A and B are shown apart, each in its own frame.
Chain A
Amino acid sequence: HMNGILSVFKTDRKEWADLEPVPQDDGPNPVVKIAYSEKFTDVFDMFRALLKNDEKSERAFALTAEAIELNAANYTVWHYRRVLLQALDKDLREEMKYITAIIEDQPKNYQVWHHRRMVVEWLNDPSEELQFVAEILSQDAKNYHAWQHRQWVMQEYKLWDGELEYVEELLEEDVRNNSAWNQRHFVISHTRGYSDSAILEREVQYTLKQIKKAPHNESAWNYLNGILQDGGLSSYPGLLEQVTELQDTCSSPYLTAFLVDLYEDALETNSSSYDQQETLNKALELCKLLAEEKDTIRREYWNYVSRSLQNTYGSGDPVASSSDPPPPSSSQQPDTEPSDP
């Protein structure tokens, strides 16, 4: 309907005649002068009046919908609507339909997702949630709010079944979807976990397979690195070989960086399976390759990594750049002056 429940024409508003509108009061020198439309001012003048009286009525409930349509980010309106939902014992199933439509329209708004979560909690019914979130993700597969809601539902109601399959579907559609990789880690760590060596090996092989399909994919490399951190990259049997094998066909700065990390792990753990000097040399060589060829945007960073490795594991004189970060023993002051470039 054209005017909503609050007609633009003040003469028509008999149902609101008893309520004195409350204007916004910004004092003598208003700073943020927003050019509100007449409708916006009318609706919110009435909203302020209702709020002042803490009125709990159907007309108040209807007005919140008007206010939300004008500004879905006003958290006070949403809170008031929730107060009314309970005070008037409104049909929460209807509210679910309402909030579904609002989220479809504004899927990056914080308040709408919070409202949905509250209604789901009150109903204690998550049965529509996974499908709903999947719908939103089909329009934007990386919507952070959607993923957050999904994780909340799954954890709160223990809905883990079928999620790994869903993640794999998404990775089929876009193997570079970092949110999907994150969700993969979420689901596995909350179900069987990575301590199970069969699971870990399955995941390593799955990830290497995805890397072969799309070598220049930071997400897959981050996942591989992440799941192997606990055991240590240099300790995982056959890993160095499998990754080195990929160097010709699946080269990327991420592969090279992975090898640097693997060698660093060998040095850090003083692994007996690795010749320390040779490992250090390989790591330094790869840093140079990254700086000069494979990841030149981060040239200075790879030179810094190189210097750090040399200083920590090298046998010669310490290599320094005056602007290197201080060694770990000095404590970080909370109000350090930023260093000049």
Chain B
Amino acid sequence: MLTIVFFALSGLDVLDALDVVDKPSLIEWIYSLQVLPTDDKSNLSRCGFRGSSHIGVPYNSSKGPGAPHTYDSGHVAMTYTGLACLVILGDDLSRVCREACLAGLRALQLEDGSFYAVPEGSENDMRFVYCAACICFMLDDWSGMDRQRAIDYIRRSTSYDSGIGQGAGLESHGGSTFCAVASLCMMGNLQEVFSERELKRIRRWCILRQQNGFHGRPNKPVDTCYSFWVGATLELLDVFQYTNFEKNRSYILSTQDRLVGGFAKWPDSHPDPLHTYFGICGLSLMGEAELQKVHPALNISVRAFESLRRLHEAWRQKST
């Protein structure tokens, strides 16, 4: 599953340990997950990346054309993590069918500005707004979405307590708050969308999440991954520096598994790729020694981010 590969790969990148990986093979495998436009281009609204080969489409890591299959379509989180993995691996995205991905993305946006995960329909919420923003950002092309509608969705999802929920009326939550704030940062609109007064209140909501580590909602237990979701949001809002690093760090490290390694949501719990990755990122935000810095909005190493920027410069030069 591509999301798990992302956690592992980006985690290794932050650990500066990508050398253990067979990069060319991985790049091939990731490209094999691309839902390619068919000869007659009738499936453009279903393009993107799959999470895995589970539906049995024959292996094809080229740029196309793809074999038609009634049930073959991309998933917005897989398109996001697929592109991110390629960037991390130093690939130049030349085999990505950019126009097809963007068409597939446009097909996922609802009238209210949020996104489905798949064209067949699914739940819609702030997670997929974030995935969509990452895709547009990485492809350097915001034609993949109606930005104003997405912004409206974000504003309508802001709660009475100034945290941000998964959608309008829903409880404010550290994960959706990250998704919203990070998306606006990538759009370059954070300070146009929220007034200074509103930003102050969002900062307050976020900074109150620290108990030792961080939790995702008031009166809920802390969980390692929120050290990133909330920590990164605070960093994007310029106030992460005012959190208590020692307590946060202590908590994250207390969730480490001394036998097999990795991090879990809580101490003495089973580690998993997600919590391990976000535990590492949470530590990276505090400048932990031997860890690469993480870009708090795009959620890849700053080094990978820089190579993406160089790619964008090359694209822009080519088009002028």
Contacts and interface: CB of A to CB of B under 8 A. Distances in A.
User: Are A and B associated in one complex?
Assistant: yes
Given A32-B4, A178-B218, A226-B161, A144 B173 contact: yes
B69 to A, nearest CB: 7
B241 interface: yes
A182 B52 contact: no
A97 interface: no
Interface in A50-71: 51-52, 54
Nearest to B199: A328
Nearest to B190: A332
Contacts of B122: 75, 110-111, 114
A27 B122 CA distance: 29
A5 B310 CA distance: 55
Interface size class of A (residues with CB under 8 A): 35 or more
A229 interface: yes
Contacts of B196: 328
A333 B295 CA distance: 13
B33 to A, nearest CB: 9
A218 B71 contact: no
Contacts, number: 188
A72 B14 CA distance: 32
A223 B54 contact: no
A25 B56 contact: yes
A218 to B, nearest CB: 4
A177 B220 CA distance: 9
Interface in A66-123: 74-76, 79-80, 110-111, 113-114
A274 B53 CA distance: 67
Contacts of A110: 122-123
Contact of B117 (A22, A75, A178): A75
Interface stretch (B23-31, B39-47, B90-98): B23-31
A27 B54 contact: no
Interface in A277-312: 297-301, 303-304
A265 to B, nearest CB: 10
A178 B220 contact: yes
Interface string A154-169: 0100000000000000
B38 interface: no
A338 B285 contact: yes
9 contacts: A25-B58, A26-B32, A44-B54, A48-B56, A178-B171, A186-B169, A222-B161, A257-B204, A323-B241
Interface of A: 22-32, 44, 48-49, 51-52, 54, 74-76, 79-80, 110-111, 113-114, 142, 144, 147-148, 151, 155, 176-179, 182, 185-186, 189-190, 217-219, 222-223, 225-227, 229, 257, 268, 297-301, 303-304, 323-326, 328, 331-341
Q: Which 4 A/B pairs are nearest by Cβ-Cβ distance? A: A226-B160, A48-B56, A325-B238, A27-B59
